[in-house]
Amino acid sequence: MNNFGFDEKQQLVELLLKCPSIENVGTRNLVLQELPSQISTAIIGNPASKVHVLGIVNTCRNFPDGLEHLFKVIRLFDGATIPFQELIENFPIIKSLPVILEKKPENEESNTDVEVNEVNVVEVNEVNVVKEKKPPPTPTKATLSIDWLSGCSGCEVAFADLHEQLPSVLKNEVELVRLPILMDTKEYVSADIGMVTGSIRTEHDIDAAHAMRKSCKTIIALGTCPVYGGPHGGGYAHTTDELLDRSFVHNPSTRTTVIPTDIPKLLKESRTLDSEIKVDVYMPGCPPHYAFIIEGLRALLSGREPTMGQHNVCFDCVRSMDKTDVKTLRRSYEGEFEPNLCFLSQGILCFGSVALDRCRRAPCPTAGVPCFACGGPSLPVILEPQMDVWTLIAERMAHLTEIPKAHIVNEIKKQAKTHYAYAMVSPIFRYKPTSPLRKTLIQHIEKGN
Ligand code: SF4
Ligand code: SF4
Ligand code: SF4
């Protein structure tokens, strides 16, 4: 298996890079975590994907079953995908790989060595066909209950983004017992795992959160809303009376004139889920990429901690941070922008460097839109009380352009309601000594900014 030349190795790297779990550095790291620790710790990280994957292949080749382990893990993530099938189909060495060892089930009777070998061997006999000599035991399925509080249902849609993996996940791994977007279930059915989307914004949300906590063994806060308060945290700058008036009375796009009274009462502000109930697992992202959702579920099912990821959005962004002589700030709708140059270098605020990557491959900057940190703050911002987003961004941008830092800080303050919306009600920001957020917001609203 390990005896192949440079051309074949290059081809293998190219094909691996097409596999969804390897293509993105976030899930690639999840794959590496599943390798035996002596292999994963020997792999050296590299920001260039091709160099990183080449290093992974080279390291795995240094261990007797290294490549077999690697393919086994990738198959777990991508088994049903076209790129993985292309990998098997087009790469002759994998195609001829005689066995991929499967973990022996703990409750399997070990009669003789011969029988054990037969049970544990899965043969790849032909392209796309995995033929098993004996079917593996049916894994225990966990029951999954999902409820939404104040949110937009985007997180439920992200669950459906599992696409072709969804039937297999529902068949083999979790049994959905509650999902209001799909099922007309009003009761809070007992479940092993409870996923809560949306934030605590109304009195109904408080009751629903407690009902989920009572009925589920493990609670996952799914999405930026329950983890940090969500985009409607922008309401932090207003009173509930102002919000209701703007929504129902003085709203240019509706004809209502009366604030309804038969709806759940709005609370003073949006709150995180853990402000009301105990949360076991946090999965931020608006919504989290489905790869993180499935990884989190599988981690729980196998009794380990789900991975949060450590990179910021810049890590995966194709734009380069180059020094320019730009002297003026612009907003993203003002003029044309270079597609390959970092927004900061062009005088536009982009929060990718202080945003946790929960979206994979920097989708917004790649599509021409600056990142507004919907995945929530990056790990340094979360962990360091004194780390101030304004200073971090302003210093980086001032370094990349000719724009004075004070101008940039002022512009961030003006746009704070937009850029901080996703996490502004979270205690992470609210109690930062460097974050007089509410005062700043109200000052700018009063000035009409
Ligand atoms: S986290 Fe984002 S996608 Fe999920 S419910 Fe909240 S606003 Fe919608
Ligand atoms: S700041 Fe924005 S545009 Fe610049 S590298 Fe980071 S994500 Fe890309
Ligand atoms: S705004 Fe930033 S964090 Fe959110 S999806 Fe876009 S790139 Fe990802």
Ligand 2 atom index nearest CA of 355: 7
The predicted structure's pLDDT at residue 434? 61
Query: Which of 345, 346, 350 to probe ligand 2 with, by most ligand atoms within 8 A of CB?
Result: 350
Q: Which of 118-127, 270-279, 313-322 has the lowest mean pLDDT?
A: 118-127
Query: Which of 353, 374, 392 to probe ligand 2 with, by most ligand atoms within 8 A of CB?
Result: 353
Q: Which of 103-117, 185-199, 231-245, 411-425 has the lowest mean pLDDT?
A: 103-117
Q: Is the predicted pLDDT of residue 291 greater than 90, yes or no?
A: no
Residue 221 β-bridge partners: 196, 282
The predicted structure's pLDDT at residue 112? 29
C-alpha distances in Å from residue 408, one per residue of 350, 398, 422? 12, 8, 20
pLDDT band at 446 (very low <50, low <70, confident <90, very high): low
Note whether 371 and 361 are within 8 A (CB): no
The predicted structure's pLDDT at residue 436? 59
Residue with CA closest to ligand 3 atom 8: 359
Q: CB within 8 A of 95, min separation 6: which ones?
A: 88, 89, 124, 127
Q: Is the predicted pLDDT of residue 206 greater than 90, yes or no?
A: yes
Q: Which ligand is nearest to the CA of 153?
A: 1
Note whether 381 and 355 are within 8 A (CB): no
The per-residue pLDDT for range 318-343, each reduced to its tens digit, is 999 999 999 999 998 898 999 999 99
Ligand 3, pocket residues at CB < 6 Å: 286, 313, 355, 359, 362-364, 371-375
> Which of 91-105 are b and which e, b meaning 16 or more Cβ less than 10 Å from the residue's Cβ?
beebeebeebeeeee
CA dist 330 and 401 (Å) reads: 12
The per-residue pLDDT for range 41-52, each reduced to its tens digit, is 677 777 788 888
Q: Is 155 in the pocket of ligand 1 (CB under 6 A)?
A: yes
Q: Is 359 in the pocket of ligand 1 (CB under 6 A)?
A: no
Q: How far is the CA of 399 from the centre of ligand 2 (A)?
A: 14
Ligand 1 atom index nearest CA of 155: 4
CA dist 3 and 323 (Å) reads: 45
Residue with the larger pLDDT of the pair 40 and 251: 251
Tell me 263's DSSP state.
S
What CATH number matches the domain at 142-302, 3.40.50.700, 3.30.565.10, 3.40.50.880, 1.10.3720.10? 3.40.50.700
Q: Which two tokens stand for residue 169?
A: 């996940």
Q: Is 313 in the pocket of ligand 2 (CB under 6 A)?
A: yes
CA dist 178 and 246 (Å) reads: 34
Q: Is 353 in the pocket of ligand 2 (CB under 6 A)?
A: yes
The predicted structure's pLDDT at residue 254? 87
Residue-averaged pLDDT of the chain: 82
pLDDT band at 404 (very low <50, low <70, confident <90, very high): very high
Q: Is 319 in the pocket of ligand 2 (CB under 6 A)?
A: yes
**Half-sphere exposure of residue 113: CA atoms within 13 angstroms, side-chain side:** 0
CA dist 322 and 66 (Å) reads: 39
pTM (2 decimals)?
0.70
Query: What is the mean predicted confidence (pLDDT) over 80-93?
Result: 74
Tell me 311's DSSP state.
-
C-alpha distances in Å from residue 449, one per residue of 74, 252, 377, 415? 50, 19, 24, 8
